[in-house]
Chains A and B, each alone.
Chain A
Amino acid sequence: MIWVNAILQGVLLGGLYALFAAGLSLMFGVMRFVNIAHGDFIVVGAYAILTAIVTMGLPPVLGVAAVLVLMAVAGFAGQYVVLNRVLGKDILPPILVTFGMSIILQNALLEIYSADSRKLPTGTFETSSIDLAGGLAVGVLPLCMFLTALAVIGGLQFVFYRTALGRMLRATSDDPEIVPLMGGNNNRIFAIATAMASLVVGIAGIWLAMKTQFDPAAGPARLLFAFEAVIIGGLGNLWGTLAGGIILGVAQTLGAQIGGGFQILAGHLVFLLILIVRPKGLFPRMKG
């Protein structure tokens, strides 16, 4: 029963990883670009909600709204002002610019918030649970987190395949050189994609703040989890990314049953194993 419970908790944790990964997957899908500072932006989101609710005392709904708007606007502006200038055939400039951003963000957070680990207190939300058959129980918070991941990915899927904006994003993903010929503006489309990704990053950051302890250096590990979920699931497939997150989450909770030191290691090893067996991931829909 311990193992069944570990798997159940792992699936729910996978929801958080899918949230981490969705933004990364979206940006890669549209721009063929990996944001090294992705994890740090998630942590920025976590500190932002902490500041809004604990320091400024905003009501939760208002705090969440403020963080999400802020993240989306920052994403749009960052893409327009900086990243659009370095995107191109050469992959080094975007990697380097986001690496630089990662170092800047980590040290800025350290300067503002100190190195202490923090967590967003949520009262009874994090302690209540629902009993299932056979002595199993799921926490209300992890369950809501998982449902959020389902909603976010469903929402992105809807935007991508059912709206005019989604058609534009998919067209840019297929061939960024043709889209301008048809009257599209790549820079604007990229900025919109990053704004959407940043919104998801904000959501991920808020759940991170409620679910676990975090500190200014927590970003890189989140980037690696997000990356692993994307690769396991297969490029260009958002539901695959959810599956990737779940596989990673389950691997980690099962690894934790073996010993504390094995939690993260087990996740990485499962990722490498899948990379060896299925280099394109489990459900690829797009060429790398």
Chain B
Amino acid sequence: MANRILQALLALTILALALAPLWAGRADLRLLMEVLAYLALAQMWNLLAGYTGLISVGQQAWVGLGGYLFFALTILGGVPVFAAFPLAALLTAVLAVPTGWVAFRLQGAYFAIGTWVIAEVYRLVAAQVGALGGGSGISLPVAVAKSIAETRMGREYVMYYIAFALAVIAVAGVWLILRSRWGLALTAIRDSEVAAESVGVNTMRSKFLIYVITAGLTGLTGAFLFFQKLRITPDAAFSVNDWTAFVIFIVVIGGIGTIEGPIIGTILFFALREVAADWGTWYLMGLGALAIAVMLIDKRGLWGAIHARWGLSILPVSRNLPD
């Protein structure tokens, strides 16, 4: 019963978000775009770390690459905006293949820092690309921005629906993957890699595929984020704090290894930010402390604890034995 109510609540939220341009002002719409983009990033990191155990601290590589590829395609290649989005995502995923080939030589915590080094390499290389402004970055020409809609409000609407689609693709995509046969394999890997291997799951291939898929979708989110900002610089595009630290905090505070966790974490993150962002450094210190507290008190996170306590599940992915 409680699950049904929560599901109805989720459906209502999705409906309200789908109609947001009708009720939200310009500033609210901007905030919602950011929320939805972060939700997509959080779902991707959660799929990677929560299910395959690959803890990446280098997701900013994909956000930055997606953004830079989008700018390169539209500015240098003259590719139309709506073709540039999927192309940027695809190229990011393609680049993730050799990147993963190198990064997978490291395990566990070393993989984490290795991905960070690789993200730094991409940042330093981006700063060397003179055609895209080098270290000082580049702005998107007005013509490119205007190509999606003539009026300012029209552009805001189009961008909002891109963000909305991103979040829906991320949440629904993860949900569908986890409910599939392959999702069963991923859940098995999450619970015990050795056991999964022993019942015939090719853990290495599953992990690599997830690594590449999450890179592509994270790249798509990056393309959107910098299209919305209309300007890209290496430091902003490959920021470890913005695109990885905050995302990890969101997932972990909300509950890693669940679909609901990143949703709750994202809501909490932005609610906190709206209240406390003026505190500047103190807000960030509080966020760090909150993440540490979750690890010390209950590392399953908020939703993990709720699920364990009351058995709630909004987007069920677990299988029950028939009676």
Contact = CB atoms under 8 A, between A and B. Distances in A.
Residue among A33, A93, A107 with most chain B CB within 10 A: A107
Given A34-B112, A103-B245, A224-B116, A96 B295 contact: yes
Contacts of A275: 102, 105-106, 114
A287 to B, nearest CB: 10
Nearest to B101: A276
A229 B3 CA distance: 51
Given A103-B285, A104-B285, A272 B121 contact: yes
A126 to B, nearest CB: 28
Contact of B110 (A86, A94, A99, A288): A288
B256 A92 contact: yes
Judged by DSSP, the binding face of B is helix
B118 interface: yes
B289 interface: yes
Contact of B281 (A91, A111, A231, A276): A111
A82 B285 contact: no
Interface stretch (B9-17, B63-71, B123-131): B123-131
Contacts of A33: 109
Contact of B117 (A32, A108, A271): A271
Interface string B279-293: 001101101110110
A108 B107 CA distance: 31
B7 interface: no
Contacts of B47: none
Contacts of A269: 121
A25 to B, nearest CB: 12
A223 interface: yes
A32 to B, nearest CB: 8
Contacts of A264: 120, 124
A209 B229 CA distance: 37
Interface of B: 49, 53, 55, 57, 102, 105-110, 112-114, 116-118, 120-121, 124-125, 127-128, 135, 240-241, 245, 248-249, 252, 256, 281-282, 284-285, 287-289, 291-292, 295-296, 299
Interface of A: 28, 32-34, 36, 82, 85-86, 90-97, 99-104, 107-108, 110-111, 220, 223-224, 227-228, 231, 261, 264-265, 268-269, 271-272, 275-276, 279, 288
10 contacts: A34-B113, A85-B296, A86-B295, A92-B55, A92-B256, A92-B299, A99-B245, A99-B288, A107-B281, A231-B106
Nearest 3 A-B pairs (CB), nearest first? A34-B109, A103-B288, A100-B288
Given A82-B292, A99-B245, A111-B281, 17 more contacts: A85-B296, A86-B299, A91-B55, A92-B252, A97-B292, A99-B288, A103-B288, A104-B285, A107-B284, A107-B285, A107-B288, A224-B116, A231-B106, A261-B124, A261-B128, A268-B117, A268-B124
